[in-house]
Amino acid sequence: MSSAPSRLASLFWSCASFSLYPRVADSPLGRSVSYLLILACVAALGVAVFFGTQVVPALRAASRVLPELTLAAGQLVVAPNAPTILYDDGAHGMLLVRLAVDQEPPAVERRYDAIITLRGGGVDAELCGRVFHAVWPARWSLVVQPLDAVAFMDSWWMFLCMVVFAGAAAWFFVTRFVHALVGSLLGAIMAGPTRGASFGRAFNLSAYAVTPGTLLMVALLWANAFWHFPPALLQWNWAIYVVTTGICLAGAVSALPKRPWRGPMPPLSALPPDEPAPPPLRANENPWADRGQSPRNNRDRGPWAKG
């Protein structure tokens, strides 16, 4: 069996050819775990670059119109005449940043991929149809001036990208490791008897089979920045990932060579009959009456032929 390609090269070959999977099936488990770590870092890098090039400019634009904010005892207070819409990217509908402290902002007329709302009790973030809520710390007490927000975004935007990279890498690694464990159980159950897919071999296959779906999710994120897809496509991106991973895992298992099948033993009646037993000797009969069959004259009967 030829050696497996490098981990970075496997990112391409796991998507391009099923011939890679038999080469990595018998690899050590540590190699598959380290491969998942590299996959998580590559996917997180794509997310961090997307955040730095698409989201950070929007946050910097929102910070320039941010009014004075006062946070006291876990409640956010703004001036009564503060604007409700801090950033709106226009017709694309990718990001909307708004305030909803004293009054609710106007209803959203079109679908946004991300809506960040600063409320009196916390922050609401709606990402691709999923809503996340975080409350303000009860012990925080500070006043944020408009110039402070601008200076923070100008000085700390790179730090924000690093935080996004670290969080995305941890999320991708943990989720893909769990998915590889689930895939290894399914692969061992389905292909264990016919192709010898033990738990360890199935885990190696699953660790590489999650690559196409993971990279496809990052590619959809980037493509949506240029072509605004229907909302359902991003809301159901997890289903696309599951289908893609399932197809790749089935192809990886099918690429393993089949084990030689051992059929059941035939019944004794089907076996060829043994040689007939010689007739019993009669009384006073010399068994070596035929000297041609005597061990002494048979050269094929070992040391008797030398006597």
Per-residue pLDDT at 167:
93
pLDDT at 307: 45
Q: What pLDDT does 283 receive? A: 62
pLDDT of residue 269: 56
Q: What is the pLDDT of residue 306?
A: 47
Residue 1: what pLDDT? 42
At 174 the pLDDT is 96
Per-residue pLDDT of the chain (307 residues; tens, 9 = 90+): 446 678 788 888 888 888 888 888 888 889 999 999 999 999 999 999 998 988 888 888 888 888 888 888 778 888 777 788 888 876 566 777 888 776 666 666 666 778 888 888 888 888 776 788 888 888 778 888 878 888 888 888 999 999 999 999 999 999 999 999 998 888 777 766 666 667 788 898 899 999 999 999 999 888 887 877 776 777 788 889 999 999 998 888 888 877 655 555 555 555 566 556 566 666 666 655 555 555 555 555 545 444 4
Q: What is the pTM of this model?
A: 0.73
Cα–Cα distances in angstroms (integers) from residue 133 to residues 80, 114, 121, 136, in the given order:
24, 13, 10, 10
